[in-house]
Amino acid sequence: MKLLLLSLHVVFAVLFGTVASRGDDANLNAIVSKFAKARNFPAIEAIVRELAETADPDAERILLALVDGKLSVRKSDDRAFIVAGDGGTVQLLDPLSGKTAGEAAKADLAKVKVNNSLRRVIRDVMGSLTLGSDDPTIRAAAADTMFKSPDPASIEALNQAIERETVPSVKARLEQARASAALVSELPAKKKLEAIAILGARGDREALALLTAFEASADGALKDAALRAIRGIGSKLAFSNAAQNVWYGISLGSVLLLAAIGLAITFGVMGVINMAHGEMVMVGAYSTFVVQNLVRTAAPHLFDWSLAIALPLAFLVAATIGLAIERGIIRFLYGRPLETLLATWGVSLILQQAVRTIFGPSNREVGNPSWMSGGFQVGQLAITWNRLWIVIFALCVFAILLYLIKHTPWGLRMRAVTQNRRMASSMGIKTPWVDALTFALGSGIAGIAGVALSQIDNVSPNLGQGYIIDSFMVVVFGGVGNLWGTLVGAFSLGIINKFLEPYAGAVLGKIIVLVLIILFIQKRPRGLFALKGRAVEA
């Protein structure tokens, strides 16, 4: 008997359940069918709001179709359908179930039209619809949408959602959305004060905009609270702005450092003006391109390692070209810096044209390995992995180079030749070889800089030209013949550039930096970290 009762219960429950959902469907159906009669945008808007009030998951599909212009009414029987496909005949989908419901000629259908203000309404109501979603990311997105378009009417829905919410981060966002809505509502002042506190804690530009708008119309204690919150957000934003500029500056500085550090060796240590330095960077970038292509076709599973494979290859290719340039051209021109400048400019033209002939004049695509794509957030600061890796890479290259020059026998020879060539030669150092290898080293470093720069710049035959003037500026600014000067020069130029950009714009900022460097050279013709003593006049 008990069993019977139980099964009856179950049957009833199932029955009632289906009836209930049928009732919802009927309700929804009734609303949807109103689209046929809606002749103007306000009428459609009313239907949209009605749909939203049902809080039915199916309503979402209908609204999405409406935004996309895919909701149509069949002229013969005034039934609304979601259409799919293109051409004269389109597929009809039932708006409630989403199942196929036959086909129709396009001419037999009348599209339900939307305009921009309607789209905005739909987006807003979708927010409250998706608050009930099972996916926390969708709920969070809904909260954010509602935050941006505060509407007192949604406070009730938000209250319910906040009570239901279990994920703390989503809950916080929901509360922020409620706070933004509370500011524009008729709620008592106490609630508004709470809202101001929540928005002040959020502390980003959007909260600032909401509070500023509120502050303009508020008075008394509310105005004071809003002003305090605005000031708080202002200082917070100023700090994160500064942090952002510093980070972008460090990022730009690391790029400059990579491009300039090879030059610091050839120009700074050897005194050779290598105008083809930028082309060495380009050669490195193209080596990466070739390696990636080979890896893609031969061993796709190694793609994430392609940069690691490209590094030594790019170094070797660029160093070999550098060695050839030194042995073939530059060694005949020692002591004639202006002629060296012209001859290496000629080399750069030839290398550019050679690359253009081999690879074509257009940009080549070099892919990011998975560990270099994407990014993460630190407070208000977005940091992308590729930028971070390039900063780390640049510092590593710098450290290795510094070690090489200061702590290896070969570096010792190199410094000896720089300081006093004749004496070094008398001590049995083969100075021509030291010259050649130093030049090859500088070129090779430019090559591996090209590997890194291929990740963030267009790989084209003009890649190098964009860097050559900047690199010279870094070396000249930092002081010739001093690697530390190059490091400081690169990062300070990068940061100065990025701090000027918001005020002056990117191009004007760059011009200002160039002018500043030109003026700086007048003051300190030998850069920040000048060599002292006899070596200067040699």
Partner 1 sequence: MIARRLFASGVNSRIAATIALLLALAITVPFLNLALSPESPLHVPSYMVALVGKYLCFALLALSLDLVWGYCGILSLGHGAFFALGGYAMGMYLMRQIGARGVYGNPDLPDFMVFLNWKELPWYWYGFDQFWLAAFMVVAVPGLLAFVFGWFAFRSRVTGVYLSIITQAMTYALMLAFFRNDMGFGGNNGLTDFKDIMGFNVQANTTRSALFAASAVALALGVFVVSKIVASKYGKLLIAVRDAESRTRFLGWRAENVKLFAFTVSAVMAGIAGALYVPQVGIINPGEFGPANSIEVVIWTAVGGRGTIIGPIVGALLVNAGKSWFTSALPDLWLFALGGLFIAVTLFLPMGVVGAWDQWRAGRRARLSARHSPEEAGRPGLIAGRAESEKSRQPIGSPEPQPAE
From residue 426 to residue 445, the character string flagging contacts with partner 1 as x (rule: CB under 8 A) and all else as - is: -----x---x----------
Select the residue interacting with partner 1 from 141, 193, 333, 383 (CB under 8 A): 333
Nearer to partner 1, 14 or 350 (CB): 350
Nearer to partner 1, 32 or 531 (CB): 531
Residue 414, Cβ density class (10 Å: 0-12 exposed, 13-18 middle, ≥19 buried) = buried
Select the residue interacting with partner 1 from 109, 114, 347, 372 (CB under 8 A): 347
User: CA dist 450 to 303, 373, 381, 402, Å?
Assistant: 18, 18, 27, 20
From residue 459 to residue 488, the character string flagging contacts with partner 1 as x (rule: CB under 8 A) and all else as - is: ------x---x--xx--x---xx-------
The count of chain residues that interact with partner 1, using the rule CB under 8 A, is 60
Assess 525 for contact with partner 1 (CB under 8 A). yes
Select the residue interacting with partner 1 from 148, 320, 510, 528 (CB under 8 A): 510
The whole-angstrom separation of Cα 115 and Cα 110 is: 16
Of the candidate spans 15-23, 89-97, 261-269, 387-395, the one that interacts with partner 1 by CB under 8 A turns out to be: 261-269
Nearer to partner 1, 269 or 310 (CB): 269
Nearer to partner 1, 188 or 525 (CB): 525
Select the residue interacting with partner 1 from 267, 389, 467, 529 (CB under 8 A): 267
Helices marked H in 408-464: 409-419, 421-426, 431-453
The whole-angstrom separation of Cα 341 and Cα 328 is: 15
Select the residue interacting with partner 1 from 95, 150, 268, 494 (CB under 8 A): 268
Select the residue interacting with partner 1 from 163, 522, 532, 533 (CB under 8 A): 522
Cα 538 off chain centre by: 48
Provide φ and ψ at 165, rounded to 5°.
-65, 135
Assess 336 for contact with partner 1 (CB under 8 A). yes
Q: Residues with Cβ < 8 Å from 134, sequence gap 6 or more?
A: none
Tell me the closest approach of the beta carbon of residue 138 to partner 1, in angstroms. 43
For 230-233, which contacts have Cβ atoms below 8 Å and span 24 or more sequence positions? 232/200, 232/203, 233/200, 233/203, 233/204, 233/207, 233/208
| Pairing of the two strands 89-93 and 100-105 | antiparallel
Tell me the closest approach of the beta carbon of residue 499 to partner 1, in angstroms. 18
Select the residue interacting with partner 1 from 352, 386, 454, 497 (CB under 8 A): 352
The answer to whether the Cα torsion of 195, 201, 206, 208 is positive or negative is positive
CA atoms within 13 A on the CB side of 302: 14
Contacts to partner 1 from residues 382-421, by CB under 8 A: 417-418, 421
Tell me the closest approach of the beta carbon of residue 355 to partner 1, in angstroms. 11
Of the candidate spans 86-94, 126-134, 484-492, 509-517, the one that interacts with partner 1 by CB under 8 A turns out to be: 509-517
Nearer to partner 1, 138 or 341 (CB): 341
Select the residue interacting with partner 1 from 271, 312, 369, 411 (CB under 8 A): 271
Q: Residues with Cβ < 8 Å from 323, sequence gap 6 or more?
A: 436, 437, 439, 440, 443
The whole-angstrom separation of Cα 230 and Cα 226 is: 6
Nearer to partner 1, 310 or 436 (CB): 436
The whole-angstrom separation of Cα 314 and Cα 370 is: 21
Nearer to partner 1, 135 or 537 (CB): 537
Tell me the closest approach of the beta carbon of residue 241 to partner 1, in angstroms. 24
Nearer to partner 1, 378 or 515 (CB): 515
Assess 335 for contact with partner 1 (CB under 8 A). yes
Contacts to partner 1 from residues 168-187, by CB under 8 A: none
Of the candidate spans 47-55, 141-149, 347-355, 365-373, the one that interacts with partner 1 by CB under 8 A turns out to be: 347-355
Label residue 73 left, alpha or beta by phi (over 0 means left) and psi (-120 to 50 means alpha).
beta
The whole-angstrom separation of Cα 247 and Cα 59 is: 45
Select the residue interacting with partner 1 from 152, 346, 379, 502 (CB under 8 A): 346
Of the candidate spans 15-23, 95-103, 214-222, 263-271, the one that interacts with partner 1 by CB under 8 A turns out to be: 263-271
Which candidate, 240, 260, 309, places its Cα nearest to that of 449? Answer: 260
Assess 519 for contact with partner 1 (CB under 8 A). yes
Label residue 83 left, alpha or beta by phi (over 0 means left) and psi (-120 to 50 means alpha).
beta
User: CA dist 320 to 280, 284, 327, 436, Å?
Assistant: 10, 12, 10, 10
Q: Are 237 and 459 in contact (CB under 8 A)?
A: no
Q: Residues with Cβ < 8 Å from 3, sequence gap 6 or more?
A: none
Q: Residues with Cβ < 8 Å from 267, sequence gap 6 or more?
A: 273, 274, 472, 475, 480
Q: Provide the binding-site residues for partner 1, judged by CB under 8 A.
A: 267-273, 329, 332-343, 345-350, 352-354, 356-357, 417-418, 421, 431, 435, 465, 469, 472-473, 476, 480-481, 507-508, 510-511, 514-515, 517-519, 521-523, 525, 531, 535-536, 538
